[in-house]
Copies of this chain bind each other. A is one copy, B any other.
Amino acid sequence: MSEGAGEQRGRATAEMVAERAKVSRVAVSRAFNPHTSLKPEKRELILKIAQELNYTPDRAARALVSGRTHLVGVIVPDVCSHWESQEIDALTTALQAEGFATLLFKTRTDYSMDEKLLAYMRGFNPDSVIAFVENVKPRTLARFLDRAVPIYVDYPLAGQAAPAAGEPLFDRLNILQHDGIDQAVALLQGYGVSRIAYLSGIDKSRASIARETTLRQVMAERGMAPPTVIQGDFGYDAAYQSTIDLFRVGVGAEAIFAANDVSAFGALDALRYELNLRVPQDVSVIGFDDIAQSHWKSYNLTTVKFDLDARVRALVRLILRRLNTPDAPGLEETLNTRLVVRGTVG
């Protein structure tokens, strides 16, 4: 172990930099915070002098004093899913503008890994953590956070009970799926479709369960028979195979409603390249997410959209509000969904 190489070089203080640059102590802080505005020449001068004096506003040292690390942990099962990579990208940009860095923690959906991962995460002492309930439950997560109040992204159902008293404190981003799904089913109904198959995500995903439950509810309200359910895992390959099975072994369908866009791509390719069915003339396909790939000509997918920018803004608002009011009761933000119509229904 090579210890304290940084210290051996000797650290200057912010006061030393301020004195040499003939600026205030506050200006030195501002120069190192990408969020603040400062005249370019002034920033340049401060950074130059800081460089000469070997000054860095070390967050490790600062964290011991302020109790802030400026790290935001994001617990994700899979960085390279299209939706998550687009969310992490936008979130990193937004957090950077507020002076925070994004720290990635990859979990498995296997719960047994979590305690180990969480003990490890705890060591970084993040200011905030964004999580999904299928990856780690609030009660478990609370045991591994010293002071951060986690944010859960949730998909509440109509008439869902409020959290039980005695639950640990957490903040919540609610995604309401009803409107987008209702618009999708209305469009299908308008084209005379009645036999719908739901292509699910992984079993324990709250998003997928909420989508299926909402779809059943919407179809019942509209006097339609319940959907056939076929098993997917949010990925292309499982969707491809399940779609083939639905038509070769199962009862077929007039439309496939997929748990996410990538599954919808798998279903589309299976219909066209394996089953020789036309989309949308023979079978309609609808996805969920509206990832960037959905407008690509090979797919041109009709899908239920979250507004990614609105979602990221809501997450950043929750983080900042919580840091400003650490003792507030559970904070909430709520977002809606809507249908984006392209070429796979008709």
Q: Which residues of A21-38 have CB atoms within 8 Å of chain B's CB atoms? A: 31-34
CA distance A60 to B146 in the complex (A): 13
Q: Which residues of B contact A71 (CB under 8 A)?
A: 103, 124
Interchain CB contact under 8 A, A56 and B125: yes
Interchain CB contact under 8 A, A124 and B59: yes
Is A248 interfacial (CB 8 A cutoff)?
A: no
Chain B residue with the shortest CB-CB distance to A36: B116
Interchain CB contact under 8 A, B79 and A146: no
Q: Which residues of B contact A62 (CB under 8 A)?
A: 123
Interchain CB contact under 8 A, A78 and B89: yes
Interchain CB contact under 8 A, B292 and A269: no
Interchain CB contact under 8 A, A34 and B117: yes
Question: Beta-carbon contacts of A44-63 to B below 8 Å, as 1s and 0s?
Answer: 10010011001011111111
CA distance A125 to B62 in the complex (A): 12
Interchain CB contact under 8 A, B47 and A115: yes
CA distance A145 to B322 in the complex (A): 32
Interchain CB contact under 8 A, A93 and B67: no
Chain B residue with the shortest CB-CB distance to A46: B119
Q: Which residues of B contact A236 (CB under 8 A)?
A: 292-293, 296
CA distance A138 to B3 in the complex (A): 24
Q: Given contacts A3-B67, A93-B106, are A292 and B57 in contact (CB under 8 A)?
A: no
Is A86 interfacial (CB 8 A cutoff)?
A: yes
Tell me how many residues of A have a C-beta within 8 Å of chain B: 84
CA distance A143 to B89 in the complex (A): 26
CA distance A99 to B44 in the complex (A): 36
Q: Which of B6, B292, B297 contacts A147 (CB 8 A)?
A: B6
CA distance A31 to B120 in the complex (A): 9
CA distance A296 to B58 in the complex (A): 46
CA distance A34 to B115 in the complex (A): 9
Q: Which of B79, B99, B147 contacts A120 (CB 8 A)?
A: B99
Is A326 interfacial (CB 8 A cutoff)?
A: yes
User: A137 to chain B: closest CB distance in Å?
Assistant: 15
Q: Given contacts A65-B3, A292-B80, are A54 and B146 in contact (CB under 8 A)?
A: yes
Q: Which residues of B contact A61 (CB under 8 A)?
A: 64
Q: Given contacts A3-B66, A47-B115, A104-B102, are A58 and B123 in contact (CB under 8 A)?
A: yes
Interchain CB contact under 8 A, B56 and A298: no
CA distance A50 to B62 in the complex (A): 25
CA distance A69 to B124 in the complex (A): 9
CA distance A86 to B78 in the complex (A): 9
Is A281 interfacial (CB 8 A cutoff)?
A: no
CA distance A58 to B145 in the complex (A): 11
Pairs across A and B, CB under 8 Å, 11 listed: A2-B67, A5-B147, A6-B146, A56-B146, A60-B63, A60-B64, A79-B79, A85-B88, A96-B105, A102-B104, A265-B298
- 8 closest cross-chain pairs (CB), A and B: A85-B85, A79-B89, A298-B298, A269-B297, A80-B89, A5-B147, A273-B297, A60-B63
